Every structure is written in structure tokens, then in C-alpha cells.
A and B are shown apart, each in its own frame.
Chain A
């Protein structure tokens, strides 16, 4: 009698479910100098809460996007890298000068260290983002920081965005990164963070060699 055919148990076949999600690191470089005090810092804090709320709508983004916050005025790591699901929006206070140059260098150093940790743990990752927001001009040496940004952008090590608020020195911002700086419309931090959240969400889902589809920032910014 012929042996009846066997079956491959596809219905219950187990597969790997414990691999870590690829990570998409993002550093928010936030100006907390004295000129930001009052309404701007309140609006920025509200914006950070909107950022978290918007990210929360996407389960995959919550496990892939990692957020760090570095403030300048003075330079401080306000939040080390955490996955979005564990991110608790801080309440920032404004004071002091605008040491933007050293803050940028710290952000780039921290990203290099973060990549090293990913590699050591076999975690794949997407191109990191830095999002700098300022309402002024650097009070420290910034040219060498600008040079590092340009180098990193050329080698695709980072995507560096600058956003100017109110009286920000747009001419210096345009020299910092090869990407054109954006000028925030009024204090529309809320809409800006909604945009950042959806852009990071697209980036964290992008397939090999797919350009990350970025929505126009025109709702909240002018070029």
C-alpha cells in the first residue's frame, strides 16, 4: 500500500519573534536660552507632548523610533536615547546663553556612540535624524560644528534639520547644514511636531533603497 503524503506543518510552524526592531534614532537639539522663556518655551513643551501623542498612534513607530533630547543654554542631555514608547516629554525651562556649537558636537558624538551600541547588539538601524530648534544665534564657536554637519551629511551619516523660531539668525542656520533651514510660522510647534512624528514614522518603515517620502513642511514653516 502506498504511504500517504506527509504535510509541512505551515499552520503551526514557529518562526523568530524575539528579534529586536530596527531603530530610527532622532536627537532633538533644543534651544533653552533666556530668549526662549515665557510663551515660546511653553509652546515648545506643549509641542513635545503633541510629538509623543502623535507617535503613540503608530505601534511600529513606537518600538522603532528612539528619541534623545539635548538642550543648549547650558548644554545638557535632558533625555538619553529611549524608544518612543518609553519617552516622557520633559518640562523644559529657559535660561542662560546659546552654546549651539558645543551642543551640535555632543549630538553627533552621541549618535556615533548609539550606532556602535546597535552594531554590537546586531540591531539594524535607519539613518539618524537631528532636529535643531533655535530662536537665536550661537554664543559659542559654531563653524567647526557646521563643518562636522556638512561632513556627516555628505557621508549620509545623519540627516540634519534646522528650524528657526521668531528672531532666529536664519543666515547662520543656512550655513550649519546643507539642508535649507525652515522658519517656524509663529510658534506653531504643535504642527511641526506632528510633521516630525509622521516623517520619522515613514522613515522607520522605509524599505531597501526606498526614498523616505517626506510631506511638505509648508503647514508650519516657511523656507
Chain B
């Protein structure tokens, strides 16, 4: 019943310098559970490409394993699972850094993980990027449910490799009836959130969520999403790597 599409595309500033796309994403969906992870490797970290990819891989593995045992039924249990995911991601990055004789911060990356299961939406989030949810049972049906975390300056954010990452990260669990969720990295923030209102840009999310909750061709749609991220009109407004993952409950 859950379906998902996703794509990461290299920013034009990285195409010019020949560096790899430092965004990574992954998702798994079944009839009753959907999980996704999105990471944005920091430009300042030499292994950010590896950092972002490892963070996504480990997040999905840990979530799968934990959710197989049981689906949490209260807020605290959800937060505990998300905590556990972030701790295990850090441990894995620490091991990778050690193997390469590098520092943890060389694998610097942001991380957003989202889980939809039964009537819960749970999110773990450190750094920038955001999550927008489409609720079945709220007046404001489309809203930002996890905000970008930024420092004072436009070029400051906290990676999962920072010393106090687990304290800085936001963990939240929402008991709600969810129709769809979109997760995106910093590169799309300025296109999908209106600065003045601080709200999700509805002319984008309304048709997006309308589509993802219908019978669509998943692989076709992922390719179309990637084309969109690489399109001239998007690249004109952002030169950063960009990732979008969309999960929806197919009702048709």
C-alpha cells in the first residue's frame, strides 16, 4: 500500500569542480511500513560522500531490524529507536574513520530518517533539510513536520559527526493518520519552503502528494523526479546537490 520515489542529483557547483554528489538517500516500503533516510555530506568533509552513503545504509538496516521485532506503540519507544539509529550510525562512521586513519568529522553529513508505521510518523533529524507531511486528519493538511536546523549563518549546520550530535538532533514521533511524506536536503530548501511564511510551498506539494497517493508507475516517476532535479529551471535556482524522497499511501 505504501509506495515511494526518490532521487539525488549533483549540484551544478559540483559538476563544475568534478566532485561527486554528496547527497544520498534510500527507502524501503511494505504494505504497512515505510522507512526512508536522506543525508547531505558536508562540502568541508573529505569523505562526505562515504559519510552520507554509510549513514543512509546503516539507518535503514537498524530500523528494519528493530521494527521486525516490534512496532513501538508509544512516543518514548519511538524516540528510543531513533536514538539507537543515530548512535549506531555514529559508531559506524567512527569505525570507517579509524580504518582510513581519518577523523570522524571527515565523514561529516546531515541525516534525516523517517518512519511511517501504523498510525505513527517518527522522525530523527540533524542538520538542514526538512520533512513535509500530508495529514489525513489535520486542518492544515500539508505542513513542515521537521524544520531545517541551521546556525546563525546560511553556511552553518550541525552534522551527525559533531561531538554532541545526539543532543542537538531532533527526535519526534507523531500519532497521526499520514497520507504522504516528503524528505529533502538543503539544496531544495529555498525552492520548497517560503522564506517569508516559513511554510511549505503548497503549489509544489499539492500536486506531488496528489500523485504519490494514486496509482503511478514508480520507476517511471523516479526517473521523472531525477530529470526534474537536473532540469535547467531547478539548476537556475540552486547550485547545490539536491535530494527528494516522497512516500505515499496509494489509495486507488
Contact = CB atoms under 8 A, between A and B. Distances in A.
Q: Do A and B come from one complex?
A: yes
Interface of A: 3, 5-11, 13-20, 22, 60, 121-127, 205-212
Given A122-B195, A207-B42, 15 more contacts: A8-B5, A10-B225, A11-B224, A14-B203, A15-B201, A16-B193, A19-B195, A125-B154, A126-B154, A127-B153, A208-B127, A208-B155, A208-B156, A209-B42, A210-B43
B194 A11 contact: no
B217 interface: yes
A127 to B, nearest CB: 5
10 contacts: A6-B216, A7-B216, A10-B221, A16-B204, A22-B154, A127-B153, A127-B155, A207-B42, A208-B156, A209-B159
Q: Which 7 A-B pairs have the closest CB atoms?
A: A8-B211, A210-B43, A10-B228, A208-B157, A124-B154, A22-B154, A15-B191
Contacts of A121: 196
Contact of A210 (B44, B190, B203, B220): B44
Contacts of A7: 211, 216-217, 220-221, 224
A14 B204 CA distance: 5
Interface of B: 5, 13, 40, 42-45, 108, 110, 127-128, 150, 153-157, 159, 186, 190-196, 198, 201, 203-204, 207-208, 211-212, 214-217, 220-221, 224-225, 227-228, 234, 237, 239-240, 252
A117 to B, nearest CB: 14
Contacts of A16: 190-194, 201, 204
B204 A13 contact: yes
Given A6-B214, A209-B42, A210-B42, A125 B153 contact: yes
Contacts of B201: 15-16
A1 B145 CA distance: 39
Contacts of B207: 8-9, 13
